[in-house]
Amino acid sequence: MAGAYDNVKIARKVSRPTALDYINHIFEGFVEMHGDRQFRDDKAIVGGVAWLVNRPVTVIGIQKGKSMEENIERNFGSPHPEGYRKALRLMKQAEKFGRPIINLINTSGAYCGVGAEERGQGEAIARNLLEMAELKVPSISVVIGEGGSGGALALAVTDRVWMLENSVYAILSPEGFASILWKDANRAKEAADVMKLTANDLLEMGIIEKVIKEAKGGAQNDFGFTANLLKSKLVTELDILCDKPVDQLLNERYARFRKFGEFSE
């Protein structure tokens, strides 16, 4: 029987489809936008405007590479604060023009280097959480690989949060969890089971709303199957969300995240 750490290994595969793979397959006419208008363009986050069938949308993704060179360019999918500020700029632009927002998440966590901290990593993430809670347009986030800590949550305060079947979503990596709890990173496999980080675990707990099926062994084995299924689910869900009055949308989003306070009581 497969364990949770098997999902972790699949989610981390270099061959796993990236955010840009899904963007290029699902959307049409994607126009990428760059920069946070403060410091620089962070290539760990890509985003812009596209069409989902006949609906204009803003799509944002955390991008990993498929080679060492690409991963260096994309900082291994670990965004700097300017990446999160770029994402927020695009989300606020989407709100201004009434476009729904779709976020594709795949990160082990936000970059924790000295420079990132000096430029306000924590503040950038916190501001995204605050601003996303009040965006007056529909929003959907999909964890397509790893969903690590605040680095993932910074793009996941949305009306719907979905996960691909073999993706994972947690407060930190199993290795980090094992190091803190047992002082032994080698117990990562055991930690993964304890953490309840798989898509099915999180669906059962009500943390997410939907699990998107993958081919056996991962989406890389039949990318078209998973991408086409995700596209059809996005089209259907946006039809529902876009029909909701803004007040209802905001109230339901507030209630969605407010209920998680019950887990700490």
The three-state DSSP-derived secondary structure of 30-63 is EEECCCCCCCCCCCCEEEEEEEECCEEEEEEEEC
Residue range(s) defining the domain that contains residue 51: 4-170+197-250
Q: Is residue 185 assigned to a domain? A: no
Query: Six-digit token pair at 45?
Result: 């986050």
pLDDT string in tens for the chain (265-residue length) = 568 999 999 999 999 999 999 999 999 999 999 999 999 999 999 999 999 999 999 999 999 999 999 999 999 999 999 999 999 999 999 999 999 999 999 999 999 999 999 999 999 999 999 999 999 999 999 999 999 989 999 999 999 999 999 999 999 999 999 999 999 999 999 999 999 999 999 999 999 999 999 999 999 999 999 999 999 999 999 999 999 999 999 999 999 999 886 655 4
Would you state the pLDDT for residue 2? 66
Residue 214 belongs to a domain with what CATH number? 3.90.226.10
Q: Is residue 158 assigned to a domain? A: yes
Q: Is residue 145 assigned to a domain? A: yes
Q: Is residue 186 assigned to a domain? A: no
Would you state the pLDDT for residue 263? 52
Q: Is residue 115 assigned to a domain? A: yes
Directed axis angle between helix 188-195 and helix 4-11, to 10°?
Answer: 100
Would you state the pLDDT for residue 188? 93
Q: Is residue 99 assigned to a domain? A: yes
Q: Is residue 263 assigned to a domain? A: no
SS3 call for 183:
coil
Would you state the pLDDT for residue 260? 82
Instruction: Indicate the pTM of the whole model.
Output: 0.94
Contact 139, 158 (CB under 8 A): yes
Q: Is residue 181 assigned to a domain? A: no
Structural domains counted in the chain: 1
Phi, psi of 176 (to 5 degrees): -65, -40
Q: Tell me, rounded to whole angstroms, the distance of Cα 81 from its chain centroid.
A: 16
CA distance 164 to 154: 18
Would you state the pLDDT for residue 231? 98
Contact 241, 159 (CB under 8 A): yes
